Amino acid sequence: MRVPIVAANWKMNKVQAEARAYCRRLRELVPEGFPVELVVFPPFTALGVVREVLGGSQIKWGAQNAHPESKGAFTGEVSLPMLLEYGISYLIVGHSERRNIFGEPDDFIAKKLRSALDSGVCSILCVGEKLEERRAGKAREVVERQLAALAGVSAEELERVVIAYEPVWAIGTGVPARPEDAQEMAASIRRWLADRFGDTAEKVRIQYGGSVKPDNAGEYLKLPDIDGALVGGASLDPDTFFAIAREVAR
């Protein structure tokens, strides 16, 4: 049994006061023993507040990014040892905005994943094709190239990796992938994992991400290979985020 996981990627949103109000509300909403793992990804500047409010609850938090090196001359970057001071449990790796806006290549993303695993942190590894790649029939090829970040990861370490299938054309557009397309890709990801990691593939949680809302979340979560959602826009309001998580719990 894979425990479903729903994550809130706030991206570059919320100052500390907003983060505090959000987390207080989310804590109020989530009942004890809620059967879905919830993870909030604030910007770096709100990690302290998030830890203060969510500490001691079942809601986890993580960082949206980290540099693979632990320290050094990397102006503007933040490392995993720095983030561990904020009690993070997760790191997002390979988000399409990092890949496409900031030009992060696959090998750099693989180094981040390695660094997160070495630090004992779980990762959400995001993969997904662009619209032109899907139209050219290359979606699977692109996703498999991105999954190659898992080379050198052991089966034991893989249990600390969540894969988020996020077709780039569905992110922030209000046009989600059709559930059957999401399932087809998730099943193909699981087969790819099974070929390399054997039975451990069955333990890996695969999220769908891209314009998930309370009214469509249930569609994805009933699919056999999808175990949760990575949510951007609709996660910015705690009630909406929890409404998605409740759909997943049903």
Active site residues: 95, 166
Q: Which is nearer to ligand PEP, 96 or 115 (CB)?
A: 96
Could you tell me the smallest distance in angstroms from the CB atom of residue 187 to ligand PEP?
20
Interaction of residue 62 with ligand PEP, rule CB under 6 A? no
User: Could you say which residues in the range 110-169 bind ligand PEP, by CB under 6 A?
Assistant: 166
Interaction of residue 65 with ligand PEP, rule CB under 6 A? no
Could you tell me the smallest distance in angstroms from the CB atom of residue 164 to ligand PEP?
7
Interaction of residue 231 with ligand PEP, rule CB under 6 A? yes
User: Could you say which residues in the range 167-226 bind ligand PEP, by CB under 6 A?
Assistant: 171-172, 209-212
Q: Which is nearer to ligand PEP, 100 or 154 (CB)?
A: 100
Q: Which is nearer to ligand PEP, 93 or 230 (CB)?
A: 230
Instruction: Give the number of residues in contact with ligand PEP, rule: CB under 6 A.
Output: 13
Could you tell me the smallest distance in angstroms from the CB atom of residue 130 to ligand PEP?
14
3-state secondary structure the chain: CCCCEEEEECCCCCCHHHHHHHHHHHHHHCCCCCCCEEEEECCHHHHHHHHHHHCCCCCEEEECCCECCCCCCCCCCCEHHHHHCCCCCEEEECCHHHHHCCCCCHHHHHHHHHHHHHCCCEEEEEECCCHHHHHCCCHHHHHHHHHHHHCCCCHHHHCCEEEEECCHHHCCCCCCCCHHHHHHHHHHHHHHHHHHHHHHHHHCCEEEECCCCHHHHHHHHCCCCCCEEEECHHHCCHHHHHHHHHHHHC
Could you tell me the smallest distance in angstroms from the CB atom of residue 105 to ligand PEP?
19
The residues that touch ligand PEP, with contacts defined as CB under 6 A, are 9, 166, 171-172, 209-212, 230-234
